[in-house]
Structure 1
Amino acid sequence: MKMQRVPLIDFFEIKSSLQDDKINFTDADINDVDSLPFVSRTARNNGVTAYCETVAEKVNSGGVITLALDGSTGSTFYQHHSFLSGQNIWLLIPNKDRIGELTPQIALYLIASIRKAVSSYTYNLSLTKTRLNKIQLILPLTIDSKLDRKAVVDAMSQVRHVELIEEVPEERYQILT
């Protein structure tokens, strides 16, 4: 394994989320099977500040990393399930050729590297797409410049109770029968 400094854009497509102001969504109960998490620019609770009724044209697919450009600048989270989004939330869509499948464990490792890389940005010096295009990550790479997934899994195995994150259900809400 060799740790290398690499451009974020070599491993992720940076894309604006489908977004709207929170006031344009209708609040829903977290236990409502049809509700979706609303991801905002908070640094807490995986970025989720509410659950809202689904608005089909505003649904972002899961399996991505979200990044707040301002507010709690640099707040970075893994969104396993579909979600709704507030303004200035960007999506980091994994390059499958370089990363492979974005499992929760791999995502948490990448998030740690991304958070470190953007830690110098603040509310006064917010992130922009231009700045994101220049961000460098430090990652373990294979000889062919792909993410060394074995090194990541080995490193993450040292994290206490990390196996629990692999048990994230495929559906956000499952009805038990």
Structure 2
Amino acid sequence: MDKYPLVKFFDIAAALQDDKINFQGAELNDVDALPFVSRTARNNGVTGYCEPRDGKVNDGGVITLALDGSTGSTFYQHHRFLSGQNIWLLKPKPEMVGVMTPTIALYLVATIRKAVVAYTYNLSLTKTRLQKVQIALPVTEEGVLDHAFIKDAMSRVRHLDLLDGLPDERYQILT
């Protein structure tokens, strides 16, 4: 498996962000609440739930990466979310990644975490450094992400079927 620049497969952008104190807190079971993603290395980066605010809601289907704090903490955000400061978004390039299912995303998260493990609080990630990161990926002869290889490799992960059953919305009311 060869290594490729992260930027070949992802666009890197800063999250729409603000300090958590500037958001109205909410309960997990509030249908309007969104997860607040911060620089923690736990719980998919989520440190609570808040009410959405115009201009501060990030789209799901992206990988988040902490620049400092728990530097290099990398997670897949399937649903819309709010973000604290110093969180980068890795937006998959459709022509290179194709459809990023939760299974594909989990594989990519593991690969990216491994690639940024050398960065720490003292040597934090910057956009410039992130643009130089090389990730080991399986690619097809056409040079795009090899979904068949990833699905085969991930087939040995227990309970993986639960990932691809994730609903499109964070909270669904059953009728």
Which of residues 16, 25, 28 is equivalent to 2:26? 28
Letter in 1 for 2:19: D
After TM superposition, give the deviation of residue 176 of structure 1 in Å.
Answer: 1.2
Which of residues 64, 67, 78 is equivalent to 1:66? 64
Matched position secondary structure for 2:137: strand
Give the aligned partner of residue 147 of structure 1.
145
Letter in 1 for 2:55: E
Moved over 6 A (4+): none
Establish whether residue 164 from structure 1 lines up as the match of residue 155 from structure 2: no
After TM superposition, give the deviation of residue 160 of structure 1 in Å.
Answer: 1.1
Q: Distance in 2 between matches of 1:175 and 1:158?
A: 32
How far does the alpha carbon of each residue in 1:133-156 deviate from its partner, in whole angstroms, 9 at most, with x for none?
000000011011111100000000
Q: Distance in 2 between matches of 1:132 and 1:8?
A: 8
Matched position secondary structure for 1:146: coil
What's the % identity of the aligned pairs? 68
The two structures, once aligned, show a CA RMSD in angstroms of 0.5
Q: Distance in 1 between matches of 2:145 and 2:49?
A: 34
Give the aligned partner of residue 86 of structure 1.
84
Give the aligned partner of residue 75 of structure 1.
73
Give the aligned partner of residue 133 of structure 2.
135
Ranges in structure 2 where 5+ consecutive residues have no aligned partner? none
Which of residues 84, 90, 104 is equivalent to 1:106? 104
What count of residue pairs does the alignment treat as equivalent?
Answer: 175
After TM superposition, give the deviation of residue 165 of structure 1 in Å.
Answer: 0.7
Q: Distance in 1 between matches of 2:98 and 2:45?
A: 24
After TM superposition, give the deviation of residue 58 of structure 1 in Å.
Answer: 0.2
After TM superposition, give the deviation of residue 83 of structure 1 in Å.
Answer: 0.3
Q: Distance in 2 between matches of 1:126 and 1:91?
A: 16
Q: Distance in 2 between matches of 1:95 and 1:54?
A: 26
Letter in 2 for 1:137: I
Matched position secondary structure for 1:78: strand
Matched position secondary structure for 2:111: helix
After TM superposition, give the deviation of residue 161 of structure 1 in Å.
Answer: 1.2
Matched position secondary structure for 2:136: strand
Ranges in structure 1 where 5+ consecutive residues have no aligned partner? none
Letter in 2 for 1:33: V
Letter in 2 for 1:117: A
Letter in 1 for 2:168: E
